Amino acid sequence: MKQPSSLAPSASAPAHPAPLSPAERRHKLAARITRNWQLYLLLLPPVAFLAIFAYAPMGGALMAFKNFRIVDGVLGSPWAKQNGLGNFIRFLTNYNFWGVLRNTFVISIYSIAINLPCSVLLALSLNYMLNQRYRKFVQMISYFPYFISTVVMAGMLRIMFNTSSGVFGILFDRLFHMNVLASEGAFSSLYVWSGVWQGVGFSAIIYIAALTSVDPELHQAAMIDGATILQRIRHIDIPAIIPTAVILFILDIGRILGVGYEKVLAMQNPNNMGASEVISTYTYKVGLVSQIPDYSYATAIGLFQSVVGLVLLLVTNRIASKVSDNSLL
């Protein structure tokens, strides 16, 4: 007679474990926290930071739908006209809207189109340097400007492009009869290329980290087959950094309307106002600098920026997932 296998499941054993009750789940969670309390303690500061400075201020977004008055507070202030959308309609119909929107898009797209290739090119160049000391020196020099303050950077640009004493300012004045600091046409290029000088070294670190994950045997096999450096870059290195580049590109698209006002404001003057007035500087001026600050209007503009950025991020992420199988989600 055939004996039943000892590995066969018992007829009385349940197919799936019984679900835990709420009390048991709480007890299990408390035991896990008690057992790993050091890790949860390390997690507490960043969570508290996000809760205080990222999520708590979201309640103030209600101000965008109201005519805010300080004496009444956010909740006590009356609702804006047109079912609370009056501040948004006011911005969309303002004569400055298309100008600041165009300037914001031009600077953002210009920055993305230049920063991404420059960062990849620098990372690839550093990756193929044979002299390790020279490589470290170049890498240190390239990312050192990232730590220069925005105000200091703007001051350096003013000194270097001064038409009376700056080296580049005198050069452009004599060759092209142009004052770069006072030219609307040169503002976006000055902003973007100074940003490349300041941030390309730091951005390249991410791509260098991606290149370190490439198996050296792939390069050895390619060299045995007679592949040149350009062929190795095209068929080995570029595919390795494409996922990282796609993720960074998606994040950049999400921030396309978020051109920082600090550097723009520091470089701005009455002569280049037509090209330098972006949404961030316009919001800063109507919300804080004007004689009668309009907090509700400024909040509505900021909320408009966030919503448009979120939509662009989701759309770009969707397209990237369909085209290249690389996305945030």
Residue extents of the structural domains in the chain: 86-323
Determine the pLDDT at residue 19.
Answer: 77
Q: Could you give the maximum distance between any two Cα atoms of the chain, in Å?
A: 107
Instruction: Report CA Rg, the chain.
Output: 28
Mean pLDDT over 88-106 rounds to: 92
Q: What would the CATH number be for the domain defined by 86-323?
A: 1.10.3720.10
pLDDT at residue 14, rounded to an integer: 52
Mean residue pLDDT of the chain comes to 86
Query: 275-324, pLDDT tens digit by residue?
Result: 999 999 999 988 888 888 888 999 999 899 989 988 998 998 888 888 77
- pTM to 2 decimal places: 0.81
What pLDDT score does 5 carry? 47
**What confidence tens digit (pLDDT) does each residue in 106-156 have?**
999 999 999 999 999 999 999 888 888 888 898 889 888 899 888 899 899
Alpha helical stretches, state H, the chain: 22-35, 37-50, 73-76, 86-92, 97-127, 132-143, 150-160, 167-176, 184-211, 216-224, 229-232, 238-254, 261-267, 273-276, 279-284, 295-323
Distance from C-alpha of 266 to C-alpha of 44, rounded to nearest angstrom: 37
